[in-house]
Homo-oligomer: A and B are copies of this chain.
């Protein structure tokens, strides 16, 4: 596999990492239809844990089968597939080597009474399942945020020492935050920045809204005249907040169902300089052919063809 110049430039930003970790980042960046472009589309399937199986898979019952998602991600030419332990264990041998995988190490569920997640798998699990990376969620703002950060510190250090990459989901939640705060630009950029400071290689956040939620932050944005008017402008700011573009940032697809709305949003991500999308429910809750068609178009947007 010849690494493209674009990808090589991205890898150079990870200057403290061992060759093993860079190789795994390269595996993801060079895989699939976006391989070599520096852009990524990732399929995450942890919604069964987060919301329950029927809410996740009843709209498209084939998706109850773990093999379905492996095959979908492969056939769509995505860069990687992310899921919790059991989902990967159920297909890791059948699809060994067919697509880079990310083992999600922690998960929450909708029955929970606090804003935390259970750590449900280990770095060793990621190695034995042949994964390219570990995934981990932090909830900045939550009463448990420091404990979560300390968990990922341990897991990330171990992952880096064995040549895995670290993908961090950074979702502000709990504590003083209200709904508006969870997706506000200042909070989202802060969450992305902290993931970078915690040593993430790839950061996943939600597309931020045009809200400035913290009073002191609002004052700083206004004084500096930061443009927050368009999604592209906001994405640009998030990329800046993640070491001025030295870290890969991908954005979730949110709950948008209308395809045109989704494509518009993804154009905004692309125009703001995002590295890509990580898009679950919008993918596997549609019939397979529709999902493949949608992913083809999303990839087209990142290829600047649409």
Distance of A121 Cα from B149 Cα, bound (Å): 10
**Could you tell me the distance in whole angstroms from the C-beta of A10 to the nearest C-beta in chain B?**
13
Contact (Cβ within 8 A) A16 B93 = yes
CB neighbours (8 Å) of A237 from chain B are 54
Q: Is A53 close to B, CB under 8 A? A: yes
**Could you tell me the distance in whole angstroms from the C-beta of A223 to the nearest C-beta in chain B?**
7
**Could you tell me the distance in whole angstroms from the C-beta of A228 to the nearest C-beta in chain B?**
10
User: Size range of the interface on A?
Assistant: 35 or more
Contact (Cβ within 8 A) A90 B124 = no
Contact (Cβ within 8 A) B112 A54 = no
Distance of A49 Cα from B197 Cα, bound (Å): 7
Q: Is A306 close to B, CB under 8 A? A: no
**Could you tell me the distance in whole angstroms from the C-beta of A286 to the nearest C-beta in chain B?**
13
What is A's interface to B at a CB cutoff of 8 Å?
13-17, 48-49, 51-55, 58-59, 61, 64-66, 84-94, 107, 109-114, 116-122, 124-125, 128-129, 140-141, 143, 145-147, 149-150, 153, 157, 172, 175-177, 186-187, 189-190, 193-194, 196-200, 214, 216-217, 220-221, 223-224, 226, 237, 240-241, 243-244, 246-247
- Report, nearest first, the 4 A-B pairs whose CB atoms are least far apart: A15-B93, A58-B224, A118-B146, A118-B149
